């Protein structure tokens, strides 16, 4: 029998381990704002650390939060959550955070990339922990506000105080993670599985599958608008079913014809060759090849990155989709609501 992983809930956490001292949130993007607001509403003293001239400082102050330069925020707090983009961590940590940490403080990240690949290396006396909500910041905030939460992963890389694990679990509880259920992992497992999921399934795999399906239909003479509906638009309907109830719910709500096509044709598209390519992707992640390449690309100014992204966004499905989405009134309403919430 496979081992059953323990799901940690509110009863397993002691939020006072974090709530008793100031918490610094470095960065006020999607995750930064969600963490800061949830911590504030959970009774924490929250300081938002931002660079001079940050465009999000006014938003943080409007949300009722104290804003300081990064170095001052790190010095004032006992737990520092570094929630800026991965490639900014090294410079921010070295110049603004590390010099202002004291023995027994904690540094927290929401993704283990820069810690696992040693782009930041906290001193021996610092707890190094991870709390990774399994959803975007907007969802983390919305679920907290309605008394629910988004599941979290938590991990410890360095336990200097003997309380690192409990601090991570406490932080997870304060942002709503233990209400939904928190799972314990390691920095390596979180980082490698997250990178693999993004590359092979969620982002790289999904967009390539959609584009390939669209191209196949259009090249066979079908109208691009019809191909868009079949290969992209309806994907949300299927993903929602999978999200809510797995394969079983999807099979319950699609036709028998769709199920038969799934069973006989799915393995023709995702086959042993596909699985071998997925294993190659995972190997590149596990042996550090992906990390080295991405770090080098970033340090070189991201020219190739920008070229690849431009090519991706110039695919014909983008123009077709933009035109069709403009006719979908409910999408315009959802976008307006999202902007107002932000």
Give, for 114, the enclosing helix (H) or strand (E). Answer: helix 113-116
Judging by beta carbons within 10 Å of its beta carbon (0-12, 13-18, 19+), is residue 297 exposed, middle or buried? middle
- Distances in whole angstroms, Cα of residue 254 to Cα of each of 214, 262, 263: 21, 10, 13
In angstroms, rounded to a whole number, what is the distance separating the alpha carbons of residues 29 and 17? 25
User: Using CA atoms in the order 162, 165, 169, 172, what is the torsion angle rounded to 10 degrees?
Assistant: 110
The phi and psi torsions of 24 (rounded to 5 degrees) equal: -100, 130
203 close to 176: Cβ distance less than 8 angstroms: no
Evaluate if residue 342 carries a pLDDT over 60: no
* Pairwise CA distance, residues 60 & 67, whole Å: 7
- Check if the beta carbon of residue 55 is closer than 8 Å to that of residue 77: no
Listing DSSP states for 29-95 in one string gives SHHHHHHHHHHHHTT--EEEE--TT-TTHHHHHHTT-EEE-HHHHHHH-SEEEE-S-GGGHHHHIII
Helix (H, G, I), strand (E, B) or coil at 186: coil
pLDDT at position 329, please? 85
pLDDT-derived band at 246, boundaries 50, 70, 90 = very high
Both tokens of residue 296? 């080098």
Q: Residue 53 — pLDDT band, cuts 50, 70, 90?
A: confident
250 is written with which tokens?
A: 């999807």
Residue 3 pLDDT grade (very low, low, confident, very high; cuts 50, 70, 90):
low
Tell me the C-alpha distance between 165 and 167, whole Å.
5
Res 4: pLDDT: 75
For position 334, what pLDDT does the model report? 58
Given a cut of 80, whether residue 333 has pLDDT beyond it is: no
206-240 pLDDT, tens per residue?
Answer: 999 999 999 999 999 999 999 999 999 999 999 99
Tokens 């691009």 sit on residue? 224
Half-sphere exposure of 239 (CA within 13 A, CB side): 9
Q: Which pLDDT does position 70 carry in this prediction? A: 98
Specify the pLDDT at position 338.
53
Residues 171-211 pLDDT 10s: 999 999 999 999 999 999 999 999 999 999 999 999 999 99
CA 291 distance to own-chain centroid = 17
Alpha-carbon distance 240 to 249, whole Å? Answer: 10
- In three-state secondary structure terms, 66 is strand
Has residue 340 got a pLDDT over 60?
no
Q: What is the pLDDT of residues 69-112, one digit of tens each?
A: 999 999 999 999 999 999 999 999 999 999 999 999 999 999 99
By the 8 A CB rule, do 48 and 74 touch? no
Q: Is the pLDDT of residue 14 over 50?
A: yes
Supply angle C-alpha 7, 24, 297, rounded to 5. Answer: 85
Residue 135 clears pLDDT 60, i.e. is over it: yes
As given in the structure block, the two tokens for residue 292 are: 């080295």
Provide the sign of the torsion angle of the four alpha carbons 173, 176, 182, 187, taken in this order: negative
Give the catalytic positions in this structure.
111
Share of the chain above pLDDT 90, in %: 93
Percentage, residues of the chain above pLDDT 70:
96
pLDDT of residue 341: 46
Q: What is the predicted pLDDT for the residue at 2?
A: 58
CA dihedral 240, 242, 244, 247 (to 10 degrees): 150
- Average per-residue pLDDT for the chain: 95
The pLDDT assigned to 283 comes to 98
With a cut of 60, say whether residue 266 has pLDDT above it: yes
């Amino acid at each position: 029998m496979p081992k059953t992983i323990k799901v940690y809930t509110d009863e397993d956490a002691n939020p006072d381990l974090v709530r008793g001292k100031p918490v610094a949130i470095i960065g006020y993007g999607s995750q930064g704002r969600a963490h800061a607001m949830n911590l504030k509403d959970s009774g924490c003293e929250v300081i938002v650390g931002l660079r001079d001239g940050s465009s999000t400082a006014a938003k943080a102050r409007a949300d009722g939060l104290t804003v300081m330069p990064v170095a001052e925020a790190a010095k004032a707090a006992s737990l520092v959550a570094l929630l800026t983009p991965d490639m900014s961590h090294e410079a921010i940590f070295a110049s603004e955070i590390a010099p202002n940490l004291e023995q027994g403080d904690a540094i927290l990240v929401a993704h283990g990339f820069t810690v696992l690949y040693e782009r930041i290396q906290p001193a021996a006396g610092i707890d190094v922990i991870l709390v990774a909500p399994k959803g975007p910041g907007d969802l983390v905030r919305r679920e907290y506000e309605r008394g629910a939460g988004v599941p979290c992963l938590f991990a410890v890389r360095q336990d200097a105080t003997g309380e690192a694990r409990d601090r991570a679990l406490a932080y997870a509880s304060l942002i709503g993670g233990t209400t939904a259920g928190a799972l314990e992992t390691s920095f390596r497992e979180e980082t490698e599985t997250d990178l693999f999921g993004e590359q092979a399934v969620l982002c790289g795999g999904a967009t390539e599958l959609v584009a390939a399906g669209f191209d196949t239909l259009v090249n066979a003479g079908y109208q691009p608008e019809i191909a868009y509906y079949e290969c992209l638009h309806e994907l949300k309907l299927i993903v929602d079913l999978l999200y809510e109830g797995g394969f079983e719910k999807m099979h319950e709500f699609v036709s028998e014809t769709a199920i038969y096509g799934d069973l006989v044709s799915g393995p023709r598209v995702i086959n042993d060759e596909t699985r071998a390519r997925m294993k190659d992707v995972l190997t590149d992640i596990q042996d550090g090849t992906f990390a080295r390449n991405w770090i080098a690309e970033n340090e070189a100014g991201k020219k190739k990155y920008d070229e690849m992204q431009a090519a991706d966004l110039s695919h014909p499905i983008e123009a077709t989709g933009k035109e069709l989405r403009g006719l979908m009134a409910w999408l315009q309403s959802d976008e307006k609501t999202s902007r107002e919430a932000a």
